[in-house]
Amino acid sequence: MQVVAKSWYQQLLPYKSKLWKDLHFDFKRMLRNFVNYAVEKKIGPIADKKRADGWINPEIRILHDEIFGKMLEQEKIGWQWWNAQGKNTEREEKFWENMRDAMCVTLDEDSHYLLRFFYMIELLHENYPKFRIEMHKQRAYWNWEKLSQDMKAHDDMMKAMRVREKEVDTNGK
């Protein structure tokens, strides 16, 4: 059953309107393009220098390489599937890489933001049981526990494959 929107505001509600879905899609595309352009022009060279010379704060290297690296590795699985379906995910991939770079450069250059960011992480950790309950209420159609376990299992499998590749490389097999 389709609900007929009565006002301009109701036409923008996501569950009532094709207009909202179109605006949402277009806005996401514009946001990705703007972030990609701005970061590549202004922050990209700084991020490149920091990756080459090292980060001021060692915890930012962990955030950049290990945490964001793991997230991007997981995303690449989805991107590979979409690319196989004929969709181009290059902008999406670049968007996430640029978001990582913008965040890490900002945190590395400004200790105020760095401290506030890690304070937020600490608060999230302290409130995680409440946060998780609320997350499950909104996403009851997902089996988050299974999804999370599958993502962790994939990480373990990828680590084992990397270890095996290093063994093969060092043994010359």
3-state secondary structure the chain: CCCCCCCHHHHCCCCCCHHHHHHHHHHHHHHHHHHHHHHHHHHHHHHHHHHHHCCCCHHHHHHHHHHHHHHHHHHHHHHHHHHHCCCCCHHHHHHHHHHHHHHHHHHHHCHHHHHHHHHHHHHHHHCHHHHHHHHHHHCCCCCHHHHHHHHHHHHHHHHHHHHHHHHHHHHCC
What pLDDT, on a 0 to 100 scale, did the predictor assign at position 51? 93
* pLDDT band, very low/low/confident/very high, at 144 (cuts 50, 70, 90): low
What is the rounded end-to-end Cα distance, in angstroms, of the chain? Answer: 62
Q: Which residue has the higher pLDDT, 66 or 82?
A: 66
Q: Is residue 14 part of a domain?
A: no
Top mean-pLDDT range of 24-28, 146-150, 158-162, 169-173 = 24-28
Q: What is the mean pLDDT of residues 135-153?
A: 71
Q: Is residue 68 part of a domain?
A: no
**11 burial via Cβ count (<10 Å: 0-12, 13-18, 19+):** middle
Q: Is residue 39 part of a domain?
A: no
Domain range enclosing 165: 135-173
Q: Is residue 129 part of a domain?
A: no
Residue 40 one-letter amino acid? E
Total count of domains within the chain: 1
For all residues of the chain together, what is the average pLDDT? 81
What pLDDT, on a 0 to 100 scale, did the predictor assign at position 135? 75
72 pLDDT above the threshold of 60: yes
Q: Is residue 128 part of a domain?
A: no
What pLDDT, on a 0 to 100 scale, did the predictor assign at position 151? 73
Q: Is residue 160 part of a domain?
A: yes
161 pLDDT above the threshold of 50: yes
How many percent of the chain have pLDDT more than 70?
80
Q: Is residue 145 part of a domain?
A: yes
Q: Is residue 65 part of a domain?
A: no
